[in-house]
Amino acid sequence: MARGVQPRISIVVNGDRVEVPAGITVAAALFNLGVTAFRTSVSGEPRGPVCAMGVCFECRVTIDSRPHERACLTPAVDGMHIQTASIS
Q: What's the helix, strand, coil split of the chain in %, to 5? A: 15, 35, 50
Say which residues have a Cβ less than 8 Å from residue 62's Cβ, sequence separation at least 6: 68, 69, 82, 83, 84
Range list of β-strands (E), 27-70? 39-40, 46-47, 60-63, 66-70
- Least CB distance from residue 41 to another protein, whole Å? 5
What track of x and - describes contact with another protein for positions 8 through 47 (by CB under 8 A)?
A: ------------xxxxxx-xxx-xx---xxx--xxx-xxx
Question: How many angstroms separate the CA atoms of 14 and 5, rounded?
Answer: 27
Question: Interface residues for another protein in 49-78 (CB under 8 A)?
Answer: 49-58, 60, 66, 68, 72-73, 75, 77
- Least CB distance from residue 72 to another protein, whole Å? 7
User: Rule CB under 8 A: which residues touch another protein?
Assistant: 1, 6, 20-25, 27-29, 31-32, 36-38, 41-43, 45-58, 60, 66, 68, 72-73, 75, 77, 87
